[in-house]
Amino acid sequence: MAFFLILLIVLGGMAWIRFAPSDPADWHVDPQVTADQDLAAGVRRRIPAGPNKFERLHAIILETPRTEILAGTQDDGQVTYVTRSKWMGFPDYTTVRDSEDVLALWARSRFGQSDLGVNRARVEDWLQRLEADEG
């Protein structure tokens, strides 16, 4: 009986992680990136803006598996994306803001105090692909 109770609790926790609602009011916020930062549960980056750069980055981000738009549009100048991990469905949120001369990116995890570098690796990959696209 105790085994089934523990199993039910574990499965319930896994379901909560995968299906917990993402409130745009909590996650679609100004990234306020003043400098590049590597954080325990995320990363902040600033890159120079340029012609169509936001549009190209947007396309690269949406090519990422298990990634979708949570809120915002390119026309608004700010989009927040949610990317879920493959097995457990952990949500990570990335907000990109176009501020005239700078694109600000803030990627962060929702659960836990560390993302084990996942957000940093994802953002660095996006920026490398963007740079290669410009090349």
What's the CATH code of the domain at 79? 3.30.310
> Can you tell me whether residue 103 is helix, strand or coil?
strand
The total number of structural domains that make up the chain: 1
Per-residue confidence band for 135, with pLDDT thresholds at 50, 70 and 90:
low
Residue-number span of the structural domain to which 73 is assigned: 23-134
- Chain CA centroid to CA 42, Å: 9
Cα–Cα dist 63/125, whole Å? 12
The gap from C-alpha 59 to its chain's centroid, in whole angstroms, comes to: 14
CA 40 to CA 115: how far, in whole Å? 7
37 located within any domain:
yes
Average pLDDT over residues 104-111: 94
Asked, for residue 6, whether it belongs to a domain, the answer is no
Asked if the structure places residue 16 within a domain, the reply is: no
Q: What is the pLDDT of residues 29-44, one digit of tens each?
A: 999 999 999 999 999 9
Average pLDDT, the chain: 90
Beta bridge partners of 72: 79
